[in-house]
Amino acid sequence: MTGFFDLPTIWAFVIAFAVFAYVVMDGFDLGLGILFPGFKPGPERSRVMNTVAPVWDGNETWLVLGGGGLMAAFPLAYAIVLPALYAPIIAMLLGLIFRGVAFEFRWRDPRHRRTWDIAFTAGSIVATFAQGVTLGALLQGIAVEGRAYAGGWWDWLTPFSLLVGASLVIGYALLGATWLIMKTDGVLQLKCYTLARNLGIVTLICMATVSAATPFLSGAYYEAWFAWPRVLFTAQVPLLVLICTVVFFIGLRRGWEFMPFLMALAFFTLGLIGLGVSIFPHVVPQAVTIWQAAAPDDSLIFMLVGAVVLIPIILAYTGYAYWVFRGKTGHEGYH
């Protein structure tokens, strides 16, 4: 039942990929919302918004695929995790509502543009923080009895989950700042170089703290990271972070435009790989494995046929959309 490339394992990777795609793509546009108060009202803010206005909608869709895929492939996990993380998930949804409508509303109502700018920022921060808290709460484990969540309503609220929440806010802000380095020029770009450097330092401190704390949340995580000979493999992760850190700061100092963003993405990629190392093969950490939660093979095969054909097509036209809007962004949209 626990072969390495059976259907549940493949689906675990597909969903992990959806979450990864979500984090790297919606990460930078949520980051813009987090950074928004730092930009001058008027053309500067409009320009920042316009760097993602044509693509944010597609970015956010990966979240729906992650959630919908979880329900389809691992219904038991979906049924346990969502009630357990009820409050942060509702908060995330409400945050995403404000952030999403702000893209259109701020253009339609110039008199209340400041209000929608605040909604954009607040929505982005709440959604990001809630995602971080969700992740932290997942990592620290969920009480399960039978086929349902069995813990209390505030179990998710711990110093660790709050730390992960705050770290994610900083991390997304870093993604946003490095994205803007690519998409803008002039004064705005200079501002973003400074922002990116400071945020980079804080992000790395946050990553180190979370990484240091995680193995001590449970014996299983400690084993996953430090058991011999696994450690030969797992040790590559912090090593790569170190290399990326060096490249990141060199890139900032030399004024490279693409490298800082790529390195920020690399931090997130490595962070997610680290997460995978910790929890695999569980889908509800420390409680339910992917094989226990998996839907019947018929469901997994039916979806896999679609995923194999469709996900590459999705990636192709997503890439095309980014290509259409390549280069530096100006001030005006279609509005």
Partner 1 sequence: MFEQADAVLLARIQFAFTVSFHFIFPAFSIGLASYLAVLEALWLKTGRDVYLGLFKYWLKIFALAFGMGVVSGIVMSYQFGTNWSVFSDKAGPVIGPLMAYEVMTAFFLEAGFLGVMLFGMNRVGRGLHFAATLAVAVGTFISAFWILSANSWMQTPAGFSINEVGQFVPESWLEIIFNPSFPYRLVHTVLAAYLTTALVVGAVGAWHLLRDRANEGARVMFSMAMGLVMVAAPIQIFAGDMHGLNTLEHQPAKVMAMEGHFQSHPDGAPLILFGIPDQERATVDYEISIPKASSLILKHDLNAPLDGLETVDRADWPYVPIVFWSFRIMVGLGFLMLALGGFGLLARLRGNLHQSRPLHRFALLMGPAGFVAVIAGWVTTEVGRQPFTVYGLLRTAQSASPLDAPAVAASLLAFILVYFIVFGAGTIYILKLMAKPPQITGPAGDMEDDAQPPVRAAGITPASSVSTGRAIGGQHGTHEGGPRR
Using CB under 8 A as the criterion, which residues of the chain lie in contact with partner 1 when the complex forms?
53-55, 57-58, 60-61, 63-65, 67-69, 71-73, 75-76, 78-83, 86-87, 89-90, 93-94, 96-98, 100-101, 103-105, 108-109, 147-149, 153, 295-296, 298-299, 302-303, 306-307, 310-311, 314, 317-318, 321, 324-325, 332-335
Phi, psi dihedral angles at 145 (to 5 degrees): -135, 125
Which pair of structure tokens corresponds to residue 157? Answer: 């609220």
What's the min distance (Å) between Cβ of 234 and partner 1? 31
* Dihedral (Cα; 122, 56, 130, 215), 10-degree rounding: -140
Residue corresponding to tokens 């509800």: 284
Choose between 126 and 174: whose C-beta lies nearer to partner 1: 126
Q: Phi and psi for 325 in degrees, rounded to 5?
A: -105, 30
Residue 185 DSSP one-character state? -
Question: Rounded CA gap, 34 and 125, in Å?
Answer: 6
Phi and psi (nearest 5°) for 22?
-60, -50
Task: Give me the helices (H) in 141-185, please.
Answer: 159-183
Question: Closer CB to partner 1, residue 23 or residue 259?
Answer: 23
Q: Which is nearer to partner 1, 32 or 196 (CB)?
A: 32
The CB-of-304 to partner 1 minimum distance in angstroms stands at: 10
Q: Kindly state the smallest distance separating residue 152's Cβ from partner 1, in Å.
A: 10
Give whichever of 69 and 200 is closer to partner 1, judged by the CB atom: 69
Nearer to partner 1, 55 or 182 (CB): 55
Listed in sequence order, the residues at least 6 apart from 218 whose beta carbon sits closer than 8 Å to its beta carbon are 141, 286
Question: What's the min distance (Å) between Cβ of 90 and partner 1?
Answer: 5
